[in-house]
């Protein structure tokens, strides 16, 4: 097992994890709901609660806005009156909100242990080594445009911003990668190899002009010829939720529902995306299903909480099932519980900030540049 020590930037932004006090562990559901509503009422316009699509129902019902990570970070910045942004999502999302927030706003994450396994697969020091090793392999790094998925740490976004690169989301990945190809000879896409491969292929990059960079191998596991041949270098990272979907599951669904359609998130593997009828971001999935004709049948390859919510919302007109019969749960997102949310809100009522996310100024400056470049791309 690889053990990686946190960098100073990561330590500062993660902060000290405080344990949830015992008194928040023994509340009934009704008591929890009443106290959460009361705290929300007390804080009024000073508070905005953001809930990511993959968040559990007991939490998301208290959200003022729901959406994907970027939509939520923007919603927070637009809600100028709110002094406190409580982000019910994972760590990198709260960091993005802190980067984009107005100066008077503060961002809190109910449980600091709510991380993202994909974001953790790319560390700043590994990226610095990658850059050095690519140069040693004969690649002109000045002509590489680094592109990072928004599911990455602030430190990775800062490196990318400082090296002329840009952030992307699953919604705009194709437009952002096209922008980057206009500016460089090759791209380094991180941390999700699958989003990179699926999008690069859509843009016409053949698979044999892509190479996977493994940060745990010397020279990323590549020869000089491999590295120089690649137009698209893919960081070896993945989402542990979306890579659980398989082509066999698609075949089983089609056998049972020959008229049904499969829609997959682009964090799924290349084979799954190729076998699916449609692929796109969470917002694309929601929009497509809502607009689909009555009577249609869908298998959805994304996180189970979103699938269940769509299933309830669109039944009985449409049949919606998860592609994985056991359902794929984002366990780190699940760490944000109503108990943690109540503890954080009670703290605000009492004038105490629990679990504030603070991205250091220098990191924020470069990370914001990478985010701003993305926001300018249409
Ligand atoms: S679903 Fe995957 S990429 Fe999204 S937060 Fe969970 S682990 Fe990270």
Q: Which residues 6+ apart lie within 8 Å of 204 measured at CB?
A: none
189 and 275 both lie in a single domain: no
Burial call 266-302: b when 16+ CB within 10 Å, e when fewer: bbbbbebbebbeebbbbbbbbebbeebeeeebbbbbb
pLDDT, position 15:
55
| Ligand 1 nearest atom to the CA of residue 331, by list position | 6
127 and 220 both lie in a single domain: yes
Q: Check pocket membership of 239 for ligand 1, CB cut-off 6 A.
A: yes
* Whole-number Å distance between alpha carbons of 88 and 20: 16
73 and 104 both lie in a single domain: yes
Q: What token pair was written down for 70?
A: 């970027």
C-alpha separations of 258 from 151, 250, 251, 298, 318 in Å = 35, 11, 10, 11, 15
Q: Check pocket membership of 43 for ligand 1, CB cut-off 6 A.
A: no
3 inside domain: no
53 and 124 both lie in a single domain: no
135 inside domain: yes
Rounded distance from Cα 240 to ligand 1 centre (Å): 7
227 and 372 both lie in a single domain: yes
173 inside domain: yes
135 and 210 both lie in a single domain: yes
Q: Check pocket membership of 90 for ligand 1, CB cut-off 6 A.
A: yes
79 inside domain: yes
Rounded distance from Cα 332 to ligand 1 centre (Å): 8
Q: Check pocket membership of 116 for ligand 1, CB cut-off 6 A.
A: yes
Q: Check pocket membership of 330 for ligand 1, CB cut-off 6 A.
A: yes
235 and 141 both lie in a single domain: yes
Domain carrying residue 182: 119-239+367-376
CB atoms within 10 A of CB 65: 15
124 and 230 both lie in a single domain: yes
pLDDT, position 91:
96
pLDDT, position 2:
39
Rounded distance from Cα 69 to ligand 1 centre (Å): 11
Rounded distance from Cα 239 to ligand 1 centre (Å): 6
| Ligand 1 nearest atom to the CA of residue 116, by list position | 8
88 inside domain: yes
230 and 280 both lie in a single domain: no
77 inside domain: yes
| Ligand 1 nearest atom to the CA of residue 52, by list position | 5
Nearest CA to ligand 1 atom 6: 330
Rounded distance from Cα 70 to ligand 1 centre (Å): 14
C-alpha separations of 30 from 50, 86, 142, 334, 346 in Å = 22, 22, 58, 20, 17
30 inside domain: yes
Nearest CA to ligand 1 atom 2: 239
234 and 371 both lie in a single domain: yes
pLDDT, position 215:
98
pLDDT, position 16:
63
153 and 101 both lie in a single domain: no
We report the CATH number of the domain holding residue 43 as 3.40.50.10800
Which residues of the chain are under the pLDDT cut of 70? 1-17
Q: To test the ligand 1 pocket, which listed residue (87, 191, 240) has its Cβ within 8 A of the most ligand atoms?
A: 240
Q: Looking at the 3D structure of the chain, how many domains does it have?
A: 3
11 inside domain: no
222 and 173 both lie in a single domain: yes
pLDDT, position 4:
42
């Amino acid at each position: 097992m690889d053990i990686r020590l946190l960098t100073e930037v990561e330590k500062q932004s993660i902060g000290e994890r405080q344990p949830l006090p015992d008194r928040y562990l023994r509340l009934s559901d009704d008591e929890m709901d009443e106290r959460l509503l009361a705290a929300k009422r007390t804080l009024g316009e000073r508070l905005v609660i953001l809930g990511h699509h993959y968040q559990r129902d007991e939490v998301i019902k208290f959200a003022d806005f729901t959406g994907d990570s970027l939509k939520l970070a923007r919603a927070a910045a637009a809600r100028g009156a709110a002094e406190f942004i409580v982000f019910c999502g994972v760590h990198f999302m709260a960091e993005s909100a802190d980067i984009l927030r107005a100066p008077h706003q503060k961002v809190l994450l109910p449980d600091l242990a709510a991380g993202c396994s994909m974001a953790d697969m790319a560390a700043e020091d590994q990226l610095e080594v990658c850059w050095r090793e690519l140069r040693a392999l004969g690649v002109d790094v000045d002509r590489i445009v680094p592109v990072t998925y928004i599911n990455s740490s602030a430190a990775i976004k800062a490196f990318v911003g400082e090296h002329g690169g840009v952030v992307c989301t699953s919604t705009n990945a194709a437009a952002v990668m096209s922008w980057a190809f206009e500016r460089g000879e090759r791209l380094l896409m991180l941390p999700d190899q699958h989003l990179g491969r699926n999008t690069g292929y859509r843009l016409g990059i053949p698979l044999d002009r892509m190479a996977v960079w493994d940060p745990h191998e010397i020279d990323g596991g590549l020869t000089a010829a491999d590295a120089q041949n690649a137009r698209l270098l893919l960081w070896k990272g993945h989402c542990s939720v979306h890579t659980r979907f398989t082509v066999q599951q698609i075949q089983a669904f089609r056998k049972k529902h020959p008229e049904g359609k499969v829609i997959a998130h682009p964090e799924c593997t290349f084979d799954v995306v190729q076998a699916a009828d449609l692929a796109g971001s969470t917002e694309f999935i929601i929009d497509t299903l809502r607009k689909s004709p009555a009577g249609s049948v869908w298998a959805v390859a994304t996180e189970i909480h979103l699938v269940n919510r769509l299933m309830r919302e669109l039944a009985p007109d449409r049949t919606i099932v998860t592609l994985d019969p056991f359902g794929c749960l984002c366990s780190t997102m699940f760490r944000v519980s109503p108990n943690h949310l109540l503890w954080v809100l009670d703290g605000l009522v009492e004038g105490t900030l629990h679990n504030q996310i603070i991205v250091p100024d220098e990191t924020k400056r470069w990370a914001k540049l990478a985010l701003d470049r993305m926001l300018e791309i249409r």
